[in-house]
Every structure is written in C-alpha cells, then in structure tokens.
Amino acid sequence: MEIPKGKLFKDGEFRAAVPSDATKITEVCQYFIDKVEERIENREIFTYTKGSILLGIGIIETSKLLDRYGNIGMFTNEQYRKKGIGRTIIHHLKEWCYDNNLNPICGCWYFNTPSKQTLESAGMVSKTRLLNIKVL
C-alpha cells in the first residue's frame, strides 16, 4: 500500500545513525532501545531529524528466523507525536528494506494501540494479535 505523500511528515531528514548520534538517541529514546553504539555500528539504527532536533529513530534487524525479512520498528520523540513522524519513519524503513531485497515485517505489543495504528497507517497489516497467557 502506497502512503499518500500528504500523509508523510515533510520537513525531516532520514539517514543512517552515526556514532555521534548515540547520546541524543539515548536521551530521547531512554529505555526503548539497548546497545545503541553496537546497533549504530551494525547499521541497524536510522535517525529522523529536523535541524538539530531528533524527531525519532527507525530500527531494522535482519530476521534470524526468516530468510530475506527485515524486522522494522520506530520510536517517535514524545514531544513530536501525532504529526505523522512515526508513519514517515516506517515509510523510509520499508523503502530501505525493498532497496536491500528484504521484506519488511513489524509488530508491537497487543496493548500498544497507538503503535498499531501508526504501523497500519504506514501500510502494514496485522495478521495476528499476540497475547501471552499463563495457565495455572
């Protein structure tokens, strides 16, 4: 599904993260992501910025279970949510996957409705809803 250009955030720059981005990523994303420096070195983190403001990050991990799949995700700076930034990050991550012969897949916790809505607005389709239960 192609996202109408009018639905994408227009004023940002999407690029692969570099080592000097690590501090800002940690400040903005806090505990959302671990091993920031290692992930930057492995080219798994992308930044979406407007000037010096980190609007959000994108993450790509090549699937260890499925051949030619890239697991994508995003985190939007809390101060800039509800502006289409998350959708735009997912759009760019999908393009990166296609350019690198990967099929983009993603997911979120069943209770994270805002994330699910963002993913769906970026053309991703939920095929399942996972719920972890324990039988006593």
Q: Is the pLDDT of residue 36 over 70?
A: yes
Separation between Cα atoms, residue 71 and residue 88, nearest integer Å: 16
pLDDT given at position 66: 84
Per residue in 39-71, pLDDT (tens digit) is 999 999 999 999 999 999 999 999 888 899 999
pLDDT of 37 strictly over 70: yes
How much is the average pLDDT of 24-30?
A: 94
pLDDT of residue 131: 64
Q: What percent of the chain has pLDDT over 70?
A: 93
- pLDDT of 90 over the 70 cut: yes
- Per domain, the residue ranges of the chain are 5-121
Q: 5-121 — its CATH code? A: 3.40.630.30
pLDDT of residue 4: 67
Interacting residues of 58 by C-beta distance below 8 A, sequence separation 6+: 14, 45, 46, 47, 48, 72, 73, 74, 89, 90, 92, 93
**If you write DSSP's letter for every residue of the chain in order, what string do you get?**
-PPPGGGS--S-EEEE--GGGHHHHHHHHTTS-S-HHHHHHTT-EEEEEETTEEEEEEEEEE-SSSTTEEEEEEEE-GGG-SSSHHHHHHHHHHHHHHHTT-EEE----TT-HHHHHHHHHTT-------------
Nearest to 12 by CA among 77, 94, 99: 77
The pLDDT value given to residue 121: 76
pLDDT given for residue 118 in this prediction: 76
pLDDT of residue 1: 60
CA distance 61 to 70: 6
Report whether 56 contacts 90 (CB < 8 A). no
